[in-house]
Amino acid sequence: MAILNIKKYPEQVLKTVAKPVKEITPSLVSLANDMLETMYGAPGVGLAAPQVGYSIRLAVIDTRYRDESGQVDESQMTELEKAVPFPLKLFNPVILKKEGKIKYEEGCLSVPGFAEGVPRSEYVEFEAVTPDNKKIVIKTDGLLAICIQHEIDHLNGKLFIDRLSTVKRTLIKTKIKKHG
């Protein structure tokens, strides 16, 4: 396992639409494991391959809340989230269905120091391929629904700041360029 370097806005790889994974190789499974390790160390709840410099459709997610001792606390999770086999290593994730509207305070490991309310769908159904080449479909709400939308945005070359009003987005981009 290795900790990877997290790319920061405005690096070009973060603005590029990632390529589909044609074949899940041992090296890609190893990359997914390294991404998970990097995400936990950051700490974060999701990480997309472009954030570590790979323009491929791969994301890792673990939105389980942990207490100070590192134990998972399911009281913070919805019933749908409790049924998910975390941690998720998702190749070629695609959202199949979205319902409802919610505004959620999001941050991003590639845009450190900023958090804003982002409009998202409250419920999503998505499919992806696992490291052992099985197609899975997950129906979820809660933080996982927010997180999968955020990570798929990364795979499409979008950052959460791209979903903000022009004024807020410009303000954040200006601050980043000043303090770069």
Active-site amino acid positions = 151
Contact 112, 8 (CB under 8 A): yes
Q: Which two tokens stand for residue 25?
A: 């190789």
How far is it, in rounded angstroms, from Cα 149 to Cα 115?
A: 16
Residue type, 83: A
The DSSP result for 60-72, as a single string, is EE----B-TTS-B
Contact 168, 118 (CB under 8 A): no
Task: Please state, in angstroms and as integers, the Cα–Cα distance from residue 48 to each residue in 109, 129, 155, 167, following that order.
Answer: 10, 15, 7, 26
Contact 11, 70 (CB under 8 A): no
165 CA to centre of own chain: 21
How far is it, in rounded angstroms, from Cα 65 to Cα 62?
A: 9
